[in-house]
Amino acid sequence: MNRILSTIVISLCLALSACEDTKNYNTAVYLLLDTSGTYTKELRKAQLIIKFMLSTLKAGDSFAVARIDSGSFSEKDIIAKATFDARPSTSNRQKRDFAAAVDKFIRGVKSSRYTDISGGLLQGREYLNETKAGSKYILIYSDLKEELPAGYKRDFDIPLDGYTVLALNVTKLRSDNIDPVEYLQRVESWEQKVTEGGGKWYIVNDIEKDGALDLANY
């Protein structure tokens, strides 16, 4: 009888441990802020996006905000990053610190001469890879006009399989107004780059629309 009971108990324990869900339900978001030229004026609007993300991301999720400048493939460009703790009190404190760090950066930001979006994308991919999150998002807050310094090589494919890339607030430049084809080609080339890398591509220009920033929709 004891053997039978112990067999049953051990089987139950094994079954329970087997029930542990190995799937990762966490979300990781990497937001790239374009700090080149006149786009720095748009950064106030980016604060709304960051605060929205902070209010919606849950325990276990990861969030990082990095700047796009002349050479963005660097950890030094990360303004703030956090993986939110499971404890609500700790998580709230992390979010407050995060918001404060971003505010400080935006107040003192200086515009960069060049725009290395590909480098930022690659850096974001590296960061999100390490988080091992189940859902990975790269948000690009930029006009998508890439200008690389001399000697910088960015003409390679970026593997983005399993990643979702959202281009936010893709403002039109003066030259786009003169020749709209430039804008369309620019957007199309980024879409091609992302989709060829295996990622999903979306453009969200109206960030104030309901559900525009809800990552579950993408």
Partner 1 sequence: MDGAAIGSWIMSQPLLIQILMPVGAVVLLYLGRATVHSLFDAIFLGLYRSLRIASASVAIGEKQLQVRNRAVLLEQGRDQAEREIEREFRRVHHIVDQDLSGYPKLQRTIMEQISSIEEDYKLSESVPPPGPDWIQAIEAVAKLTKKTNGETIGGRVLEEIHKASQKHHAEILEAYREQVRERHHRLDNIKTYWRKLTNTVDEVGTVIQSLLDRTRDIDKRMVTYEEIVAGSDKAERSLRSSSITQFLISFIVVSIAVGGAFINFHLIALPMSETVSGAGRIAGMAVSDFAGMFVILLEATFGLMLMESLRITRLFPAIAALDSKTLSRMVWIFFIFLLAFAFVEAALAFMRDQIAADNASLRQSLSGVAAADEENTINSWIPMAGQMIMGFILPFALAFVAIPFESLLQSGRTVIGHLLGILLRALSTLLRMLAVISRQLGRVLKNIYDLLVTPLLWPERLIANFRGTKSGTYKYAQAD
Chain residues binding partner 1 by CB under 8 A are: 16, 19-21, 23, 25-26, 51, 54-55, 59-60, 85-90, 92, 95-96, 99
Minimum distance from residue 86 beta carbon to partner 1 (Å):
4
d(CA 203, CA 139) in angstroms, rounded, equals 10
Residue at 44: amino acid letter? R
Cβ proximity to partner 1: between 9 and 181 the closer is 9
Q: Residue 47, Cβ neighbours under 10 Å: how many?
A: 15
Question: Nearest approach, Cβ of 202 to partner 1 (angstroms)?
Answer: 24
If the CB atoms of residues 50 and 165 are measured against partner 1, the closer one turns out to be 50
Q: Which is nearer to partner 1, 21 or 157 (CB)?
A: 21
Buried b (16+ CB within 10 A) or exposed e, 112-132: bebbbbbbbbbbbbebbeebe
Is the Cβ–Cβ distance between 203 and 167 less than 8 Å?
A: yes
Nearer to partner 1 by C-beta: 36 or 83? 83
CB of 19 to partner 1, least distance (A): 5
